[in-house]
Structure 1
Amino acid sequence: MAIAGGIIVIIAFAAIIKKYETRMVLLAAGFLMCFIGGVTGNAVATFSKTMVHGSLVPVICTVMGFSFVMKITTCDRHLVESISGVITRSKFILIPLATLLTWWINIAIPSAAGCSAAVGSILIPTLMAAGVHPAMAGAAVLAGTWGSAISPGQAHNIFVADLAQTDLMTVIMAQVPAAIVASIVAVVALTIIATMRKEGPDEARRLAYHAQLEKEEGGKDFKVNPLYALVPLVPLVLLVLGSKQIAVLPLTDVPTAMIVGTVLALIVTRQNPQEITKKFFDGMGEAYGGVIGLIVSAAVFTAGMSAMGLTDALIEAMKGSESIAKIAGAFGPFIIAVISGSGDAAALAFNGAITPQAASFGMSIIDLGSLAQMAGSIGRSMSPVAGAALVCAGLAKVSPMELSKRNALPMLLATITFMIVLFLGK
């Protein structure tokens, strides 16, 4: 049955590559696999459960609502215009800067989907305004959403520390050097890909983007208002300073930050409260129909994989590779994360079953456990069905598969680099 599931998954990904409606493909494949697996009810239950996901729905909907408010108040354009000159003069470092910035912020905001929503709502339009291709803009932010792998808030680090019977920071500090080198390799690879595809900052795309803004918002004689330009940054600042790791401000979640930003926009721009409110909820509706719709469809697809035994088969194949534990620890979680959109299940399965025996492979629990959880996080950053990918694709208005195609090689190289540097000299 797992083989049949694998065939359905391959056909589904091929259909998405062929640009068939992503939600239709994922839902159809998910329901079909659940039906064949004899658990059709699981597909419906997953559909219903994900529709009211307690964290993703409020985060993504409020982010998109805030984004719509930024557009009607023109605050987003004031921000873009205020930094467009600097960006234009920094063409070579623009894409790597966006990825590294996302990577470091993701340490403070461990949720990949939440970070991509908060950071992407600012960086993706900014990159596009500088003439970066929309798909590359989305890929640059998505490529940075595995910084959380070295976050104290990452559950896997706590799990590995418990296995190794050591403190959390010992586990994290063992990962940091290899993770930083891997992030640099990923950034360099993505920059090279952007250059080869001619998707970096381009004057023609920049002019077209600004012409579209003028068409939508009117007025060619545009003067930047510094206060307007600062408003889009407020939620991001609140999230970073109010994170558990920094804690300069009281703990702040994404919906709170976005609502505060919206109220601030209303105060600063003094626009009609009725129009601001209407646009905020219009944005929430757009997010639900588009991004949340994709996440719901992806969840049904993942449930179908489980129903066919495909996920268990992949995990069991990974567990059977004890003689080459380093390779299994890296590429088992990586592959499953790419296919399923989540690095959690694979990393936890590997660390629960294999990592306790690390000493028999000549390795430490910290090193093997860190490898598995890091590979899962990196693999998720190129998965077309990951929540972060769907958020970035929605903000860039492109197919999630377009982001995956651009991030595939950088994420693969990052995984290999992390493995090599982690075990260098050991």
Structure 2
Amino acid sequence: MSSIAFFLSLSVTAITGIYLYRRLNPQGSLMLAGLIMLTLAVIFNIQPVIPAKPTGSIIFDLIKIVEETFVNNLARAGLMIMTIGGYVAFMNHIQATNALVYISMKPLSLFKKYPYLAATITIPIGQILFITTPSATGLGLLLVASVYPILVGLGVSKLTALSVIAAATLFDQGPGSANTALAAELIEQTNVAYFITHQLPLVIPTTLVVMALFYFNNRYFDKKDAARLSAENETENNKVSQSVSRPDVPFIFAFLPILPLALLILFSPYVGLLQNITLNTTTAMILSLFISLLFIALHTRNLRKTFDAFSSFWKGMGNVFASVVTLIVASEVFSKGLISLGFIDSLVEYSTHIGLSGISIAAVFALIIFGAAMLMGSGNAAFFSFGPLLPGIARQLGMPAYSLILPLQLSASMGRAASPIAGIIVAIAGVAGVSPIELAKRNTLPLIGSILFLIGYHFITL
């Protein structure tokens, strides 16, 4: 039965991929595929996903799963994504983004001649921030609000700017990462010890390779796109030239787009400005919104204009819900369908029967979990499905547990950045107005090179 289920999951995934390639509505394609796989899991009694509150009817249970997915996403990441999307729209409306770009262009004028270098430097800076803000989607959207307009102003394309922002969240590392917590638990270490003794020695050299590959990959594709779409690039250049013109607002407004990020860093447990205060992303966004409204009220001295500006925040939230949150929900239903058909379990079972050496099987596992994360759109889902099995597999292969767990844990988060249905890809692409599929395609080639380096370097230095 597992062979049939595996074949069915691959077939549904392949058909869904074709639909997405042909630009059918992604929400509808992913939702339908997920419901089909959930239905097949029930029919064949494989690993049926049961809602938290069953209805007593199989048909109603399937719909209940969709409802619970909506509710869970709105209560967690959905609200955060909507508030960040609304804040980005609000910053654009009050010209705070323009002020940030205008001011940034002066000290960054050196990078006008080297825009791809500036974009590439964003990757390690973002990775440091990712340790203090361990939410890929949250950090990605914060960087879209603050760094993205600066990079575009320097002259790189939208896809290049978004590509390096996604690359900043490649590695789920640091004590605050859920994947780090599970990996550390599996090898019976503390989060901090695992981070320092295992993650950093592998992440640092891999990051250098990631930077080089993304630099040349983005420069190549931008030149290729420029040659094919000269008219469109002319329009984009006009937009950039307008975006760096002097804004009609006080320059202190330039601080507002980076205010949420500054608050999250200052009040993170790793900086510890005030040890007894905790701050999450949504709270930081709403607090920054009210501070910004105060700035507008003092600047315009007009209550009507202040409230009119406020309305842009709600409109931005609505736009992000329609384009981003709904796609994340559909992607999660699709992921649940894959899990319900035993897709991950089948991958593990088939891989262990290949008959390769221990290191070869570990390398194959890393590539498999990379691909699984691409299909599922979640590094956490992929690693949490594989993770508990790894210590036992490592013992069978005669390897220390960390040598198998470490590359797979990092591979899972790397695969997320190449997935067109991953939360961060959908979110940052949606806010910037580009296709998630195009962004995932832009990231795929350098990520394949990076994962091959990570696997080779890890096992060579064991």
Q: Same fold (TM over 0.5)?
A: yes
Contact conserved, 1:347 with 1:376, CA < 8 A, in 2?
Answer: yes
How big is the shift at 1:212?
6.3
In 1: Cα distance, 2:323 partner to 2:136 partner: 18
Residues 85-143 of structure 1: per-residue CA shift (max 9 Å, x gap): 42524413122122232222111111111111222222223323333222222222112
CA offsets, 1:135-169, max 9 Å, x none? 2222221122123x221012332333333333332
Q: Structure 2: how far apart are the matches of 1:345 and 1:336?
A: 9
CA contact (8 A) 2:133 2:264 kept: yes
How far 1:319 moved relative to its partner? 5.0
Which residue in 2 is equivalent to 1:62?
Answer: 83
**Alignment correspondent of 1:280:** 313
Find the aligned partners of 1:105 and 1:419 in 2 and give their Cα distance: 25
**Aligned-partner Cα distance in 2 for 1:388–1:17:** 20
**Residues 183 and 406, structure 2, Cα contact 8 Å, conserved in 1:** yes
Q: Taking structure 1 as the reference length, what is the TM-score of the superposition?
A: 0.90
Give the aligned partner of residue 142 of structure 1: 166
In structure 1, the residue corresponding to 2:24 is in which secondary structure?
coil
Contact 1:103-1:144 within 8 A present in 2 as well: yes
Q: Deviations along 1:272-305, whole A, 9 cap, x unmatched?
A: 3322331211111111111101101111212222
Counterpart secondary structure, 2:147? helix
Matched length: 420
- Cα distance in 2 between the residues matched to 1:108 and 1:230: 20
Q: 1:157 aligns with which of 165, 175, 180?
A: 180
Letter in 2 for 1:235: P
1:234 maps to: 259
Shift of 1:387: 0.6
Report the counterpart of residue 377 of structure 1 in structure 2.
413
Name the counterpart of 1:289: 322
**Do residues 2 (structure 1) and 26 (structure 2) align?**
no
Judging changes above 3 Å, is the alpha-carbon distance between structure 1 residues 334 and 361 closer, same or farther for their aligned structure 2 residues? same
Give distance in 1, aligned partners of 2:211 and 2:61: 39
The 3 A distance-change label for structure 1 pair 229 and 177 is same
Q: Secondary structure in 2 aligned to 1:150?
A: coil
Deviation at 1:238, TM superposition (A): 0.8
Return the offset for 1:74. 0.6
* Kept after mapping to 1: 8 A contact 2:268/2:278: yes
Partner of 2:29: 25
**2: distance between equivalents of 1:326 and 1:29?**
30
Could you tell me which amino acid in structure 1 is paired with residue 161 of structure 2?
Answer: A
Determine if contact 2:395/2:401 at 8 Å carries over to the other structure.
Answer: yes
User: What's the CA shift for 1:398?
Assistant: 1.4
| Cα separation, partners in 2 of 1:316 and 1:5, compared to 1, 3 Å | same
Aligned twin of 1:400: 436
- Is residue 399 of structure 2 the alignment partner of residue 363 of structure 1? yes
Show CA shifts across 1:27-86 (max 9, x none). Answer: 222233333444655542332123222221121011011112111211011111222342
Deviations along 1:362-421, one digit per CA (max 9) or x if unpaired, are 432222211111111111111111111111111221111111111112222222222222
1:266 aligns with 2:293: yes
5+ unaligned residues in a row in structure 1: which ranges? 215-219
Contact persistence 1:106–1:146 (CA under 8 A): no
Alignment-mate amino acid for residue 210 of structure 1: V
Q: Report which stretch shifted further, 352-361 or 317-326.
A: 317-326
Q: Map residues 86-235 of structure 1 onto 2, 5 A cutoff.
A: 86=108, 87-147=111-171, 149-173=172-196, 174-198=198-222, 204=234, 207-210=237-240, 222=247, 225-235=250-260
Pairing 1:51–2:70 present: yes
Contact 1:185 1:414 in 2 (8 A): yes
The verdict on how the C-alpha distance between 1:364 and 1:269 changes in structure 2, with shifts beyond 3 A counting, is same
CA RMSD of aligned residues (A): 2.6
Q: Aligned partners of 1:326, 1:221: CA distance in 2, in Å?
A: 55
* 1:217 matched residue in structure 2: none
Aligned CA distance change for structure 1 residues 186 and 43 (closer, same or farther; 3 Å)? farther
- Match of residue 278 from structure 2: 251
- Residues in 2 aligned to 1:32 and 1:244: alpha-carbon distance in whole angstroms: 43
Identity over aligned pairs, percent: 24
Find the residue that maps to 1:303 and give its secondary structure. helix
Look up the match of 1:314: 347
TM-score by length of 2: 0.83
TM alignment of 1:64-83, pairs within 5 A: 64-83=85-104
Q: 31-40 or 108-117, which moves further after superposition?
A: 31-40
Counterpart Cα distance in 2 of 1:114 and 1:221: 30
Summarize the Cα distance change of 1:3–1:180 in structure 2 as closer, same or farther, 3 Å threshold. same
Task: Give the letter aligned to residue 239 of structure 1.
Answer: L
One-letter amino acid of the counterpart of residue 20, structure 1: L
Q: CA separation of 1:227/1:21 partners in 2, compared to 1, >3 Å: closer, same or farther?
A: same
| Cα distance, 1:104–1:205 mapped onto 2, change above 3 Å | farther
Residue in 1 that maps onto 2:15: 11
- Which stretch shows the higher mean deviation, 30-39 or 381-390? 30-39
Write the deviation string for residues 309-355 of structure 1: whole angstroms up to 9, x where unpaired.
Answer: 33432343345568434213411211111110112233234332232
Any residues of structure 2 matched to 1:286-365 within 5 Å, and which? 286-318=319-351, 320=353, 323=358, 324-365=360-401
